[in-house]
Each structure stands twice: as structure tokens, then as C-alpha cells.
Amino acid sequence: MKDRRTFIKQVSALGAGLWAWPLIDQAYAAEAADFMKDVQLTPPSELATNEDFWSWVRHNYTASSNLINLNNGGVSPHPTVVQDAVARFTALSNEAPSYYMWRVFEKGRESIREKLGELGGVSAEEIAINRNTTEALDTMIFGLDMQKGDEFVTSNFVYPNMNQAWKQRELREGIVRKVAKLPMPSTDTTAIVKAYTDQFTSKTKVVLIEHVINWTGQVLPVAAIAAEAKKRGILVMVDGAHSFAHLVFKIPDLNCDYFGTSLHKWLCAPFGTGMLWMKKEHIAKHWALFPGPEPSSDDVRKFEHQGTRDVPAELAIGQAIDFHNSIGAERKFERLHYLKQYWVTRVKDRPGIQFWCPEDPAFSGALTTFGIEGMTGPEIHNFLWQEARIHTTPITHEGVDGVRVTPNVYTSISDMDKLIATIEKMC
């Protein structure tokens, strides 16, 4: 009872414009600080192999002991501190939903906006909080003024939801799609950039670039592509669903105009949380997907008029950011890439195996899609599940026919060893 009274008292401070996130996870913060003391000076690449440290990280999750989840690319579990935050905010909201959600918790969104801005290296006044990458990118795609005959460029590895959004604009408005045919896999920046520039014309208004291709894990040189687009006055949209809180970068590094991501992927935030970033100069002239009272406002909040929404989940994004920061972006990336390389290097010489993602850390992170000669992606997927209860996702797209393997920070080396042993049974 005392903890609940304390929580309500702390939450009531919102009315005075205060929001102290550590009030919910002080125990975790103390434990994290104590644990991190011994590894602060350890280089991230060296810490990537420290199984004691990553075992501690793993125990902050409630990962299943009945299966090995290697489909974290679809949606990732959130750590216990995030689960606890969602539960507390939800429980209090249920006492008087319209009061707590709209008069109290609503003010907490501004703190989340600031934390996301800091994480992304951008102004909080350029960030809208929404539900996922699809909503963010649909806002970009449908809100951009284009005329019949205007051209846009995507790649042959564009995500289906974005492909469908552009297709609807094509059918309704007569705008014209141009498709960059990407080499896959590739570490040739010049060839990748050329695939896009070959499609640019004087009529091109916008290009959509996947930072990390969901089908394969290939990382694209966004900044290099964007530089060529900017020379031609072309707007740059970035699909950052698989890069935010995964790769080490800040949004300005990409030289883009728009960026969208799902926070429930690599940030491990609550399910159904996402973020849109839009350069300030574009906000006033960009139409909202869900219109508010002032369509031409230059306030980024005009993109948040969704009606009733999951406010407790949004507020718990703060704990996800704190958890991410407690590990550290560079440490996290080094571990993720190490896990990928751990299993890839041990099976890549097996007969008939093929990979559609480079090993170079400049062009890859945690995701990798592989195939086996004589087997389809669904067949490999089924074998992994039936033989070892390894959960993955089959991929069949643009000549890729295999399975995408996606570990996360809670994935253990023993999980990877089991994957390796099961692959060896297939080839």
C-alpha cells in the first residue's frame, strides 16, 4: 500500500510540470550502476564476448525457456523494468481512465519526446510519438504534396506496407514509381548508390531508403544515397524500423528529411510504440494522416491526433530508453554483431549454404538471412522449429529464399550453439 501511495504522489507531481522517470525503476538503476562499475573501461568489442555481463542483461528479460526466439526483428520483448512500468501506469489508469490518461499522464509525453530527441540527436520539436514505422512512413507518404507525373523512387526491397502506400498514391493520383534494383548482398557503396541515381530524373520528388533491409539485414549507405539526392533537390525519407537503437548513429548523420521507426523493435519499448522525425522546415507544409484543428501548423504534435491511445505504453518508452542507455549503444551493437558473426562463421563453409547479408559491420548488424540449396525458406523454418524449437521467420522475396535469423541482447551463446548444430543437420 505504501508503494502505491508513493507512486500516486509522485505521479501527481506531473501537475507541477515534473516527471521523474527513475522513481519507478530505482532498484534496477542501482543494480545496473553496480554491475556496470566493473565494465566501464572495457572496450565494447571486448565486452561483446563477456558472457557474465550479457547473462545479467538476459536476466532482465522474461525470455521463454521453452523455445529460442530468433525473430526479434519482427518485434522484441521488453525488459522487466518496461513491463513493470506498463503495468503500473495501466493499473492507475484503470482507476479513472479519462482523468489519469488525459489530465495527468498526457503531460508525460513531453518528457518522452525529449528523451527520444536526445537519443536520436535531434530536437524534441521534430519528433511525433506514434504506434509504429508503418504509421510514421504513411504519414510521410500520404502527407507529401505531389502532382500527376511526379516521380518517386523506392527499391525492390521496400517493406510491403510502404509499397502498398505508394501503390495507392499511384492508382489515385497518377504519380510514377521508379525502382532501384539493389545488389544483394553488397559492400560496394558506389554500386548501391548508382542503383538509386540511375532512377533519378528531373521529375523525381522523393526517395525512400531502407536503412536496414528487413528481408536480409543488409545495411544501406543512406548518407551517401541522400547526398546524391540532395544534389538534385530530392527529398529523402528513411525507413529506420530496424536501425534505431540497433546501429550506432544519430538521425542527422543520415542527411535525410524524414525518418520513421518502431520503438518496439530494437529499443525494446512497449508493443505498438513508434516515432516519426520530420525536419522542422517541412512540418507546416506536410499534411497529417489524422488531421487536427490546424492542418498547416508547424507544431510536430499535429501528427499525434490518433484519438484514444495506449498512454501507459507510451510513457513506458522512458524505461526502455533508460535500459538501452544503461547498456550503451556501442556495447549493444558490438554484441549484436558478435552474435550474428558467431553463428555465421561456424556454418558459412557448410555445403550448399548461402547468405544474403554481408559480414562487414559497416553493412550489417544482428539480422542475417540464409538459405540452403535444395530447401525452401519455409522448409528450413519448419525444420528449425520441429527439430529444436527455434523460432525464426521464412523469407521469400526478390530471389531470396531462406530464413531470417535475428538474435537480441538477451540471446545466449548456448542459443547460438543450438542453431549451429541444427543447421549442420540440414547441410
**Which helix H or strand E contains 89, and what residues bound it?**
helix 80-93
CB distance 184 to 401 below 8 Å: no
The pLDDT assigned to 68 comes to 98
Digitized pLDDT (tens) for each residue of the chain, 427 residues in all = 445 555 444 444 443 333 334 444 566 667 777 767 777 889 999 999 999 999 999 999 998 989 999 999 999 999 999 999 999 999 999 999 999 888 888 788 899 999 999 999 999 999 999 999 999 999 999 999 999 999 999 999 999 999 999 999 999 999 999 999 999 999 999 999 999 999 999 999 999 999 999 999 999 999 999 999 999 999 999 999 999 999 999 999 999 999 999 999 999 999 999 999 999 999 999 999 999 899 999 999 999 998 888 999 999 999 999 999 999 999 999 999 999 999 999 999 999 999 999 999 999 999 999 999 999 999 999 999 999 999 999 999 999 999 999 999 999 999 999 999 999 999 8
Question: Could you please report the per-residue DSSP string of 266-299?
Answer: TT-PPTT-EEEEE-HHHHTTSPPSS--S-TT---
β-strand pairing of 68-69 with 390-391: parallel
Q: What does pTM read for this prediction?
A: 0.92
Q: Provide the b/e sequence for 17-51 (b: ≥16 CB within 10 Å).
A: eebebeebbeebbeebeeebeebeeeebeebbeee
Q: Which of 73, 119, 75, 76 is nearest to 249 (CA)?
A: 119
pLDDT of residue 128: 98
Distance of alpha carbon 362 from alpha carbon 247, whole angstroms:
9
**All structural domains of the chain:** 108-321 (3.40.640.10), 330-426 (3.90.1150.10)
> What pLDDT is recorded for position 13?
43
Query: What confidence score (pLDDT) does residue 105 get?
Result: 84
Q: Give the integer Cα–Cα distance in Å for 244 and 61.
A: 20
**The one-letter amino acid at 50:** N
Peptide bond into 351 cis (omega under 30): no
In 118-257, beta strands by DSSP E: 127-130, 151-155, 176-180, 204-210, 235-239
Residue 402, helix vs strand vs coil: strand
Per DSSP (E only), the strands in 36-195 are 68-69, 127-130, 151-155, 176-180
* Counts of helices then strands in the chain (DSSP H, E): 17, 13
Please give the DSSP secondary-structure letter assigned to residue 368: E
Phi, psi of 293 (to 5 degrees): -70, -20
Which residues lie below 8 Å from residue 109, measured CB to CB, with a gap of 6+? 129, 311, 314, 315
**Measured CA distances, 399 to 192, 349, 360, 402 (Å):** 17, 21, 22, 10
pLDDT at 15: 37
